[in-house]
């Protein structure tokens, strides 16, 4: 994994701005602490920072290649899980100098051009500059695990893995307009697909690629969830799922540096840890597993609909069952509050408050052991694990199921924005566009038709928020986190499995449980879903309340965007409204506004 950036212009000499490119590169050093490089031509600056995982000595970037077709320069961030197959296919024509994925991607592009993306199985964002053709090709993986932001300004394209790097370029404005205000207060921590929040900044959407040339930028969608008839029995479906899941996990265990897994004691991370432990045992190695908890959670934890039990009991069960070397990270309230600022720096935007901050601290501890970790993200979106898939009333509600708080959120808009933003229309139209884009079959019944919409909504919105979080919080410490359930083959297949199978025996992710039942002890296999752990210590609410009070007592840009009286009401703890599903309640909402204040100040954001 790495950080990439660059600037392309056909109207000015790009070699004159080396100091700018060095600043952009420095902003990405946490993503790639091992190696760095910049290549300048008259038209292009290609910038890279590397986190070395495969072929540590041979995979340096930017990487160049010349042949009769032309001269190419690539900057690449990602991991390719079918690299060996592609290398074998390309070997005779091109030969290879390294074992790195980067060379495979570059020569795949030379061979197949823009259609190379159809052959890549992995998580990636990359840019290839063709010197002879005077153009640059941009691409992002099918599901959007790896980020790629860009801005078109002053006859040039500027791109980067992260917003802070993009903002180091003087041509990119540090401004938000009414659209940015709507995103921050009505959508955050989610984002409209392709929206970079900052004025003029966009993101290459998941499953998109295209060219920038003197004619401009032309992006196209090369992948989406497609509907097709599936006539397999439940037993055949379970076998198919088992094959896909096992293959995905095993492919992602390749690494030249120490590898470990997250272990929450839930179904998804436990499955990944179980398969990883078995594979490493074959090599004579012991898997290291990692868990996070909060000081005082054993004292303050209370069962609820979303979190019926706490994790430690199940974590200990799995660690003993697998014989792993297990590590605990215990987060205390003061460091959690302090890390809210670092989480803003890492994400480049205000985010999921303590849910971001705790993951950042957790990843920092894991990095002390190794460089690569596997995590269970996205199984809930793909296999239908969330309550809004299974609760009949929630899933049929017309709107984002995890964000039914528009009426509450719009109260925070200052008058200047409230007058020009139709909050209900902004949110509902975004929801409707996504739901309507879900591909269906004439044979779909009411439930399966709605489930396709729910899957598309989760793919484009909720899952992207979690993937943003996982990428930024982990890469901030130079930790590569792989997500085996994000294999596009699993996503394509599961999109067409009927809900009756997914909800097997009336259990969330019942199909996945049945397919993988041989890999887990009964206690964990049938454990009710529990979300990412949050602190239950009342000290956190007290601490964030005090901090936001201090912010409001001083000169703050926050009140140019957010209505002061609503912030003061929030601090009185009179209402307990979910800001973003079960992950963000009153303490997290207060912490979100702390992060928003931090973001406005840290990046010098102006409201226009």
Q: Report whether 218 contacts 211 (CB < 8 A).
A: yes
Query: Half-sphere exposure of 472 toward its Cβ, with a 13 Å CA cutoff?
Result: 29
For 584: left if phi > 0, alpha if psi spans -120 to 50, otherwise beta; the answer is beta
> What residues form DSSP beta bridges with 127?
75, 138
Is 2 a catalytic site residue?
A: yes
Q: Name the phi and psi angles at 174, rounded to 5.
A: -95, 65
DSSP states of 55-113: STTT--SSEEEEETTEEEEEEEEEEETTHHHHHHHHHHHH--S-S-HHHHHHHHHHHHG
Alpha-carbon gap, residue 341 to 59, rounded angstroms: 33
Q: Which of 2, 195, 260, 598 is catalytic?
A: 2
Neighbours of 17 (CB within 10 A): 19
CA distances to 291, 299, 398, 493, 533 from 303, in Å: 20, 12, 29, 35, 12
- Within 283-375, where are the H helices? 297-300, 312-322, 333-347, 354-367
Q: Report whether 79 contacts 104 (CB < 8 A).
A: no
State the DSSP H helix or E strand holding residue 393, giving kind and residue range, or none if neither: helix 392-395
Q: Name the phi and psi angles at 262, rounded to 5.
A: -75, 145
Q: Which residues are catalytic?
A: 2
């Amino acid at each position: 994994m790495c950080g990439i950036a660059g600037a392309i212009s056909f109207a000015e000499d790009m070699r004159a701005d080396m100091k700018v490119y060095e600043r952009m590169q420095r902003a990405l050093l946490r993503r790639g602490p091992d190696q760095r490089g910049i290549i300048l031509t008259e038209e292009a600056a290609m910038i890279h920072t590397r986190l070395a995982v495969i072929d540590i000595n041979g995979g340096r970037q930017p990487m160049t290649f010349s042949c009769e077709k032309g001269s190419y320069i690539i900057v690449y961030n990602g991991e390719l899980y079918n690299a060996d197959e592609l290398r074998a296919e390309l070997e005779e024509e091109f030969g290879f100098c390294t074992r790195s994925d980067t060379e495979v991607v570059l020569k795949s592009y030379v061979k197949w051009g823009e259609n190379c993306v159809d052959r890549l199985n992995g998580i990636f964002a990359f840019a290839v500059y063709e010197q002879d053709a005077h153009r640059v090709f941009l691409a992002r993986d099918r599901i959007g695990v790896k980020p790629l932001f860009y801005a078109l300004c002053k006859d040039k394209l500027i791109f980067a893995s992260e917003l802070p790097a993009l903002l180091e370029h003087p041509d990119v404005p540090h401004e938000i307009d009414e659209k940015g205000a709507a995103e921050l207060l009505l959508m955050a921590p989610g984002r409209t697909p392709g929206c970079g929040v900052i004025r003029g900044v966009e993101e290459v959407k998941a499953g998109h690629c295209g060219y920038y040339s003197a004619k401009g930028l032309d992006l196209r969608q090369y992948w989406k969830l497609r509907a097709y008839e599936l006539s397999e029995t439940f037993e055949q479906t379970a076998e198919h799922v088992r094959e896909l899941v096992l293959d995905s996990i095993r492919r992602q265990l390749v690494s030249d540096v120490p590898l470990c897994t997250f272990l929450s004691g839930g179904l998804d991370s436990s499955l990944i840890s179980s398969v990883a432990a078995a594979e490493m045992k074959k090599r004579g190695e012991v898997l290291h597993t990692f868990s996070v908890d909060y000081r005082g959670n054993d004292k303050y934890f209370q069962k609820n609909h979303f979190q019926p039990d706490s994790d430690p009991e199940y974590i200990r069960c799995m660690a003993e069952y697998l014989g792993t070397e297990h590590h605990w990270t215990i987060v205390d309230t003061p460091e959690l509050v302090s890390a809210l600022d670092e989480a803003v720096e890492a994400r480049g935007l205000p985010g999921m408050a303590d849910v971001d901050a705790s993951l950042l601290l957790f990843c920092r501890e894991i990095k002390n052991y190794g460089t690569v970790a596997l995590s269970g993200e996205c199984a809930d979106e793909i296999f239908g694990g969330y309550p809004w898939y299974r609760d009949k009333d929630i899933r049929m509600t017309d709107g984002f199921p995890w964000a039914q708080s528009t009426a509450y959120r719009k109260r925070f808009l200052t008058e200047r924005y409230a007058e020009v933003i139709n909050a209900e229309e902004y949110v509902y139209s975004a929801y409707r566009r996504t739901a309507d884009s879900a591909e269906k079959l004439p044979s779909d019944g009411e439930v399966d038709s709605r489930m396709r919409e729910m899957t598309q909504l989760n793919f484009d919105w909720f899952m992207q928020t979690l993937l943003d979080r996982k990428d930024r919080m982990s890469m901030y410490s130079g930790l590569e986190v792989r997500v085996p359930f994000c294999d596009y083959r699993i996503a394509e297949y599961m999109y067409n499995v009927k809900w009756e199978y997914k909800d097997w025996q009336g259990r969330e992710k019942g199909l996945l449980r049945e397919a993988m039942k041989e890999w887990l002890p009964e206690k964990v296999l049938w454990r009710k879903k529990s979300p990412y752990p949050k602190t239950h210590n009342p000290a956190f609410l007290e601490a964030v309340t005090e901090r936001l009070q201090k912010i409001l007592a001083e000169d703050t840009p926050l009140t140019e965007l957010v209505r002061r009286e609503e912030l003061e009401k929030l601090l009185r703890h009179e209402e307990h409204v979910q800001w973003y599903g079960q992950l963000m309640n009153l303490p997290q909402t207060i912490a979100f506004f702390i992060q928003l204040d931090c973001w406005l100040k840290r990046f010098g954001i102006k409201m226009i």
